[in-house]
Structure 1
Amino acid sequence: MTSPPDTAPRPRPVAGLAGFALGAAALLLVLVQFWAGPFSPQQSAGVSLGELAAEVRDSALREMRGAPHPVPEPVPWDIDRALSVIAALLAGLAVVSALFGLIRHEAKRPAVAGMALGASAILFQVFSVMVLALAGAIVVAALVHAVGQDLFG
């Protein structure tokens, strides 16, 4: 009978578990932000759409007159934007930490779970932004069409 070859002991899954914890935190933060947000004060939809229609009208009139466009104002940071950045950072750290755990030949299950949680947090955030941007584009197109009919008959 032969004895099994000596194998080096596996390192403790520190990086894999860290990736799992970071990925879980990122996914929870994205879900809370999606379902409970926005947390910063928001204007009503009617006010926002009215201001957008007025800006489109003013921009079209400036373009027809050849007047210069105003300098764009920087977007201020609020709690919603900060939470989005923190969630993306946590998700990215989860994926990197899980990859590091796989490179170190740690236990695969925590590392793969951390990578999956981090990637799902990123994908959920990107997918929700894409869907909301598409819905916003449809609303803006309808507003531009309505403003165009008002301006040009």
Structure 2
Amino acid sequence: MNTGAQGPHRQAELRRFRTACFEAARRTGARVDSLDLPGVVRSFEAASITSPTGSVVTLHHTDRPIVAFTGTPPVAGRPVSDFMDSPPYADVFKAYGFQVLTPAVLNTPVVALDLTELTPIEPTDLRYWRPDVLGDVLFNWWD
């Protein structure tokens, strides 16, 4: 699911995600504690945004303009869990052109998904890794 592309489009997408993170923090009086960009094989970047009410990790898919939120920082090699409803700043990501996914969508079983538009490598990944839900397909550590 991660093409590893690092061309101009990919760099622009990373800048847009970073900008949206800092704008979301600014608008809500929060701060970006960490901006965890790719360095290991995975399909997402993560940014921890902390406000007086707590920390939320914003996940951004590396190949698609998709974001999701979790209360638990990702642990290398483990499925991302604890998807949560959108925090108050989620509209900032929508304004920057990102699709915000809900826990209900992310917890959709893979067997219930329409997989007709997969790239040629993705069916192989799904057979090998056997993800349970859409969140596992989108936010993973697959090589």
Normalised by the length of structure 1, the TM-score is: 0.24
Larger radius of gyration between Structure 1 and Structure 2: 1
Normalised by the length of structure 2, the TM-score is: 0.25
Bigger strand share: 2
Bigger helix share: 1
Work out which structure has the larger RCO, using CA pairs closer than 8 Å and 6 or more positions apart in sequence.
1
